[in-house]
Structures are given as C-alpha cells and as structure tokens.
C-alpha cells in the first residue's frame, strides 16, 4: 500500500495531501482525516494510516498555511476558508462518498462542514472536539488549576510579563500537555514532528487559537455551535479520553447535541487516544465505520 502524495490548487495556493491505500474493498468507503491546531499539520495522525488495512483508503492533508501546504497570511485563516478547503480536497480526489474524521480543531471543522449539508458525507468521527470554545476555555483553566503549584507560578509570571515565548514558559506548558494531550512516556515520531512544525510555523495557531491550549486569544475565542448540533444528521462517533483537555463534559455536550451519535470514552486516554491506544482505537473506529457502511 504505497502512499500517494501530491498537491491540490486552492485559492491561488497549494494544499498538500497524502493517500494511504490502493482503494476500497467492496462495500467500504474512504476516510478523510482532518488535523487539529489550527495549524498543527497532519503528522500526529500517523497511526490512522492503519485504516488502510481495513479495506479503506486513509487520506490526509495539511491545511492551508501549515505543514507541507502553501504558507499564507491571516486573510485566509478563517473557518470559511478551511470549510471550503475540505470540499476542494474531496472534489480533487474524487471522494464522492466518504467518512470524515476530525481531531480537535479538525472535528470542529468537520462539524462546520457537515452543517453545510454536503452530499456524500457518510459519517463523522469527532475525536476530542468541542462545540464551544468558551466552555473549552473554562475546562482547560480548571485543568490548569490542578497543575503543581510551581508550574502554575511559572505560567502566571510569564503570562503577566508577556514572555509566553520563553523556554521556562514552554516547559511549564509541556507539563499540561503531558497530562492532557498525550500521556505516553515517549511521544510517537508523528506527534513530535507536528509539535516541531508548529513551533517552526506558529502563525495560524497564534492567530486563531493563541499561545497554547489554555490561553485563548485568537479569533476562535467566541466560536460556539452548541445550538446547531441538532442540524447534524449523519451517523456520528464521538471519542475522547478521561484525562482529555476536551473533558468529558465537553464530549458529552457534542454527543447529546448530535441526534443518534455514539460516544466512546477511553478511560486511560487524553487528547490523542489514537496515538496512546492505536490498536484499540482502530478497533473502535473500524466497528463504527463498518456498521455505517452496512446500513
């Protein structure tokens, strides 16, 4: 199953993509994977390439402005741009009928895309994706308050001084990430690559999110589609971790809001269950996709 890579013209720029798998087995549909951030690139989703072993292609791309796609400026860093990019990728790759997986911001994007009522959308898989950034901010600040006192002190001091780009602040932030983003003792190469690329090219993330996962200063600060979740009518699987920065409170809001959705909570997991428990995650994912395809 040799990967195929290429670029797609979009808004005068180039969106880079990667397809793993040679096609679909009878009755199967491809899985289009949307990465988080915004601006984190696709590499941390690498474990999902295993989907190709279940008779489906796994399709990834780096959203405009990050990773291997064209660098752009803030005029294109909008929800509307990224929603349109999903459609452009589908059109270019001939994904007439497809499942869509979204991680974190990628799931937020998937929900926004689903709200446009596109044809051929078979299902959604929303991994640790909130429906409300104001609630996300409440929950991540609560989790932050549970960090050790010396870590909280470092965060507070550097935020007050405006030195959130200092090595000390970044080290303190990493303590939060080790608890609530990826709890593995050693992070997989794909996760490390995504963080490295984000550090090298933080523009989209800073503009739309902020300096980190719990200080929200970007344009997504007031984003909230809670009241519109009932408009999403495709089969939907919600996954999250017990220790997730997208806390069970947030996952439950999405689950209860989308009619007929399912929710799987990984008791030992955090924000990247697919990296922390790749075998079990693939089992859960394949079971859901197979049932959707059979129906």
Catalytic residue list contains 96: no
77 close to 49: Cβ distance less than 8 angstroms: no
Kindly write down the DSSP assignment for every residue of 155-212, as one continuous string.
Answer: HHHHHHHT-TTSHHHHHHHHHHHHHHT---SS--HHHHHHHHHHHH--HHHHHHT-SS
- Distinct helix (H) and strand (E) counts, the chain: 10, 8
Catalytic residue list contains 271: yes
Q: Say whether 260 sits in a helix, a strand or coil.
A: coil
* Cα separation values, 276 from 34, 44, 46, 144, Å: 18, 11, 12, 21
Catalytic residue among 42, 62, 244, 255: 244
Largest CA distance in the chain: 59
Catalytic residue list contains 158: no
Rounded to whole angstroms, how far apart are CA atoms 290 and 286? 6
* Cα separation values, 230 from 34, 53, 227, 258, Å: 22, 33, 7, 5
Rounded to whole angstroms, how far apart are CA atoms 28 and 98? 9
Catalytic residue among 180, 243, 255, 271: 271
Catalytic residue among 104, 132, 194, 240: 104
- Tokens at 75, concatenated: 């005029």
252 close to 263: Cβ distance less than 8 angstroms: yes
* Cα separation values, 78 from 24, 38, 99, 117, 249, Å: 33, 10, 23, 19, 27
Q: Active-site residue numbers?
A: 104, 244, 271
């Amino acid at each position: 199953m040799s990967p195929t890579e290429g670029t797609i013209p979009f808004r005068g720029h180039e969106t880079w993509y990667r397809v793993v798998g040679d096609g679909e087995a009878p009755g199967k549909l491809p899985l289009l994977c949307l990465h988080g951030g915004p601006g984190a690139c696709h590499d941390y989703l690498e474990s999902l390439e295993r989907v190709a072993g279940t008779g489906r292609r796994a399709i990834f791309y780096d959203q405009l402005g990050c990773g291997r796609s064209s660098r752009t400026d803030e005029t294109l860093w909008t929800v509307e741009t990224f929603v349109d990019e999903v459609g452009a990728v589908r059109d270019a790759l001939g994904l007439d009928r497809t499942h869509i997986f979204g991680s974190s911001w990628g799931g937020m994007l998937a929900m926004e895309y689903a709200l446009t009522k596109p044809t051929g959308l078979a299902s959604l898989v929303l991994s640790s994706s909130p429906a409300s950034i104001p609630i996300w901010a409440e929950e991540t600040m609560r989790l932050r308050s549970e960090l050790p006192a010396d870590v909280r002190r470092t965060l507070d001091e550097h935020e007050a001084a405006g030195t959130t780009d200092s090595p000390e602040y970044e080290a303190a932030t990493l303590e939060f990430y080790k608890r609530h983003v990826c709890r593995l003792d050693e992070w997989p190469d794909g996760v490390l690559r995504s963080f490295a690329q984000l550090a090298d090219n933080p523009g989209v993330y800073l503009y739309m999110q902020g300096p980190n996962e719990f200080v929200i200063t970007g344009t997504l600060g007031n984003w909230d589609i809670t009241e519109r979740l009932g408009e999403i009518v495709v089969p939907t699987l919600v996954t999250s971790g017990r220790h997730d920065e997208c806390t069970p409170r947030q996952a439950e809001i999405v689950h209860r809001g989308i009619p007929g959705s399912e929710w799987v909570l990984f008791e030992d997991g955090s924000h990247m269950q697919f990296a922390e428990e790749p075998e079990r995650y693939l089992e859960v994912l394949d079971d859901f996709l197979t049932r959707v395809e059979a129906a």
